[in-house]
A and B are shown apart, each in its own frame.
Chain A
Amino acid sequence: MKVAVCVKHAVDETELKLDQGGRPVLGGAAGKMSTFDKNAVEEALRLKSKHQGEVAVFMVGTADSKKTMKEALAMGADRGVLVSADPAAIDTFRTAEVLAAAIRRSGPYDVVICSEGSSDTYSGQVPPMLGELLGVPYVGYARKIEVSGQSAKIERSLEDSVETVESPLPLAVSVVSEINEPRYPTLIQIMQAGKKPIEELAADAVAPAGGYRQVSVPSMSSQPSTRKHVMIEGTPEEAAAKLVDALVKEGVLK
């Protein structure tokens, strides 16, 4: 079975600095593997271990992204395809368009796996767009995937229910974090990852841009926290009494 997994090198929100005007400083910002993409890679590896075959990692990113590509390879993926474009400068549709073209080029794949949403810009748009552009059935928010023969049985986690669906292969899915516990690569795996092939491509060579008008981000800002930051001291009993008093004084507790 051939599995494609889409992994984003996302801005690390915990390291992100704000400038004096409260705007995020994106130039040179630290990045990391988008949190839930670890679950996507893990699920791809589990499918491979059950059904044999290979796992290829697809990424649209800048040169910095290679670190995350290597991490996915160290987890156990076989090879990578890195299409160069700055994810911050293109929108979800263009990202999906480039991913779809790159996947087509080296496909076909039986299963294409994304996560439900990227940790820096959480939009949940790339996976369904990708399914649509690949022209394959799409199942979002999977918490369990079982493949047998040419079809898959998938549990989808929705807000108020769990839906079980059946779909023929090939298909595209997005996974939620509850689907599995991502593995940590061992030192040996990290060393071996350096030898795995990474194909590098230019976005425009894979899928010529144009023909539609993109989402843009005219400005960004942030609001400083205006909390009181009062730390209440004392034994649990004393602290509890003081807290209750303070909340009554605030008029938020009757």
Chain B
Amino acid sequence: MKAVWVYSESDAVSNEVASAAVDVAKGAGAEVQVLELGAQRPGVFASGGKLLLKGPPSSPTPGAAAEAIARAARELQPIAILTGATRTGREVASRLAAKLRIGCIAEVSKLGADGESIFGERNVFAGKAVARVSCPFPAAATVKVGAYPRLAGGNGGLQEKDVGAVSDPVKVVAREAKSAGAVDLKSAKVIVSAGRGVKKKEDLAILEELAKEMHGALGCSRPLSADLGWLPEEHHIGLTGVTVKPELYLAVGISGQLQHVAGMKDSKVVASINTDKDAPIFQASDYGVVGDLYQVVPAIRKALAARA
């Protein structure tokens, strides 16, 4: 039977990608197989079960993962190979596509297929537009993280395939966890989000308190995590970070560039605080307060306390 393969270095993302693969498989009359490399992991069994590739190490570098999957693909000829659009997933899918000389659609959600092609939707031009993209089979794809629920599991069995030893000239010599971000922004009902309007790292404390008082979580714009390192990467919302849809999104000191708005535009209600009355965030907001966050945020906390 025709197969759609799923691979992610993360079990959670692998289960999301498996959901996307179910839609592709349905359209193409295929079954879904979840790949595992080196050793079995707790990931789900999809309709076509799991395919365990033996030969690569159990936490391969992206280069080794791509080589192992390419060897198996040359022999077993899946119609599509899907990864999560994580930093590792993008590399694995792209390298695979180059090795197999097939097209690769990027950062897609709303995937589907017909007898000949895979298709999906993606943000382009920093989220200003949505493009429908399509590629004839066989094809690769990176699936936007957070776009699909995790697949509960199917009833297929375990198959094994020996692809031989793989190695990568790139050697990992150290790995250090980034400061742990325990928050789950995707499930938070309220998100207070901090931008460069916050002057120094210590000042994030008042926003963290506000988030707590609103029973929500603290997120941020990209510069705060990527450039300043004040918060872990998984706190940053937008095109290159997480996509969120809370009941309430409160943007504090965020200018509202397209790339940021792309990650929060499906929130139910958006409110924002910014000193600049012309800040684009107000165009993406239901409620806007022109003011200094250092005055407005304490005032909001007082108003909340007065209600309690």
Binding site for B on A (CB under 8 A): 11, 13-14, 16, 18, 22-24, 91-93, 96, 117, 119-129, 131-133, 137-141, 153, 156-168, 171, 176-178, 211-223, 225, 227-232, 236-237, 239-241, 243-244, 246-248, 250-254
Contacts and interface: CB of A to CB of B under 8 A. Distances in A.
A131 B290 CA distance: 48
Given A137-B63, A137-B169, A236 B291 contact: yes
Contact of A16 (B128, B170, B215): B128
B21 interface: no
Counting chain A CB atoms within 10 Å of each CB, the highest count among B95, B270, B283 belongs to B95
A236 B295 contact: yes
B234 A160 contact: yes
Interface stretch (B26-34, B86-94, B195-203): B86-94
A218 B134 contact: yes
B125 A120 contact: yes
Interface in B201-257: 214-215, 226-227, 229, 232-234, 239-240, 247-248
Interface in B102-138: 102-107, 119, 123-126, 128-136
Contacts of B131: 217, 219-220
Nearest to A219: B132
Interface stretch (B42-50, B71-79, B158-166, B299-307): B299-307
A249 to B, nearest CB: 10
A159 B87 contact: yes
Given A140-B91, A220-B130, A229-B283, A236 B268 contact: no
A211 B240 CA distance: 32
Nearest to B105: A215
Given A96-B98, A119-B126, A217-B132, A236 B299 contact: yes
Contacts of A164: 172-176
B15 interface: no
Contact of A239 (B88, B129, B214, B291): B291
B91 A227 contact: no
A227 B66 CA distance: 43
Nearest to B247: A252
A16 B186 CA distance: 30
Nearest to B215: A254
Contacts of A160: 177-178, 181, 232-234
B173 A166 contact: yes
A247 B269 contact: yes
B190 interface: yes
B283 A223 contact: no
Interface string B148-188: 00000000000000000000111111111110010000000
Contact of B94 (A92, A228, A246): A92
Contacts of B87: 124, 140-141, 156-159
29 contacts: A11-B125, A13-B128, A14-B258, A123-B106, A124-B85, A132-B94, A138-B95, A158-B87, A158-B88, A162-B175, A163-B172, A165-B61, A166-B171, A166-B173, A178-B229, A214-B103, A216-B133, A218-B119, A221-B130, A225-B265, A225-B284, A230-B286, A230-B287, A231-B282, A236-B296, A247-B271, A248-B307, A252-B268, A253-B214
A244 B91 contact: no
Range class of the B interface residue count:
35 or more
B228 to A, nearest CB: 9
B106 A229 contact: no
A138 B128 CA distance: 31
Given A24-B129, A243-B300, 10 more contacts: A121-B124, A124-B87, A140-B87, A178-B226, A178-B227, A213-B102, A225-B265, A236-B291, A236-B299, A252-B269
Nearest to B293: A236
B238 to A, nearest CB: 11
Contacts of A119: 126
B60 to A, nearest CB: 13
Nearest to B168: A137
B245 to A, nearest CB: 12
A241 B125 contact: no
A216 B87 CA distance: 23
Nearest to A140: B91
B147 interface: no
Nearest to A127: B94
